[in-house]
Amino acid sequence: MKKLFRKRKKDSKNFKRFCKMGLYINLIFLGIFLSSIFYLGLGAFKQTYIYTKADRNSVAYELLSRSEQRQIRANQVQGEGWFLANAEVDQYVKNNYHKLNESQIQLVNELMQKDQIQLKFNTNFFLNGDSKSPENSGIFSSVVGTLLVMVVCMVVSIPIGVGAAIYLEEFAPQNLFTHFIEVCINNLASIPSILFGLLGLGVFINLFGMPRSSALAGGLTLAIMSLPIIIVSTKAALKSVDINMKNAAYALGMTKYQMIKGIMLPLAMPMILTGSILTLAQAIGETAPLMIIGMIAFIPDVATSIFSPTSVLPAQIFSWSAMPERAFLERTAAGILVLLGLLVILNLSAILLRKYFQGKNS
């Protein structure tokens, strides 16, 4: 008996060590991933500027970006000032790979000695839309498109998902048909997301004629992808409510509607909100279904409504990663940092809302 007890104790310690080792390995890989993203992406938050004359005959004219050169040729700017440098100069100043020739390198070094080249905060990255020139590219249009898509997804998926879960849990008869529906919902929660993109392409765009690459089509596609997960999490939240609370409500003469509204939903609301917000956080990072409905296209303009063509941040990151210019590499990493920041905000909001409703219920 003592040998068996010692063996069980030893196995328990070994299993605990194995679990700790798995956790530490995951933390190591997470640290490597985040450090590499920060190392690559932090450079995109600064951009190289050159102090020179707004003249085509200036020695630094060939070092400027194409947008600055167009403005100078069109006489839209006059005098001297700080002008945006092209991507190759920016990469050289940041000690990255570049394609400058020897004479251009010598000219850049001379300007740096004269303090006519400086790294400044890259406002273009946050205020501009997508561009074929790395130095002018930004995430503003894709962030606006992401917010519009998530608003459509949230407005559609949360009310329908919560309502469907309440009906299946409290009102639907327990028969073979409802059991089949629940099995289908559980299966839909685990299928690949690209299949929802095909469904959105076939139903929302081809059948109903919604604008391609619009926030409406993208939001509805993500909504049907999020519905199964919201329904499953809401059903679990409703099941977690103590049966004695429900019986007490009925004993006081409440109807089923009053019991659900006054007892079940307030008690299950922390878990419902947490599951819904985490589902939206997962949907905000989806790229495959949005690529199918055309949101991977080059759209530099900011969407003015849910019917306007737009792009989203994950698709923007994907398109930047496929660009041949090396300067887009740090833009890609910086876009990932922004996307991670949005996910952190959503997760923190889920935690805060859960604590708020738990404190309110207690």
Cβ atoms of 267 and 361 closer than 8 Å: yes
Cβ atoms of 306 and 215 closer than 8 Å: yes
Helix, strand, or coil here: 298? coil
pLDDT in tens, 8-48: 888 788 888 898 999 999 999 989 988 999 988 888 899 99
pLDDT at res. 97: 86
pLDDT in tens, 228-263: 999 999 999 888 888 888 888 888 888 888 888 888
Average pLDDT over residues 313-326: 88
pLDDT in tens, 182-239: 888 888 888 888 889 888 988 999 888 888 888 999 999 999 999 999 999 999 988 8
Cα torsion through 202, 207, 209, 214, rounded to 10? -30
pLDDT at res. 24: 93
Using left for φ > 0, alpha for ψ between -120 and 50, and beta otherwise, residue 253 falls in: left
Cross-strand partners of 81: 52
Cβ atoms of 310 and 245 closer than 8 Å: no
pLDDT at res. 157: 92
Per-residue pLDDT at 323 exceeds 90: no
pLDDT at res. 333: 92
Q: If you write DSSP's letter for every residue of 49-63 in order, what string do you get? A: EEEEES-TTSTTGGG
Q: How many helices (H) and strands (E) does the chain have?
A: 15, 3
Whole-angstrom distance, CA of residue 16 vs CA of residue 9? 11
Per-residue pLDDT at 359 exceeds 80: no
Tokens of 77: 């700017």
Mean pLDDT value across the chain: 87
Smallest CA-to-CA distance from 320 within 304, 310, 331 is with: 331
Per-residue pLDDT at 334 exceeds 90: yes
pLDDT in tens, 81-140: 899 999 999 999 998 888 888 999 999 999 999 899 999 999 999 998 888 888 899 999
Per-residue pLDDT at 175 exceeds 90: no
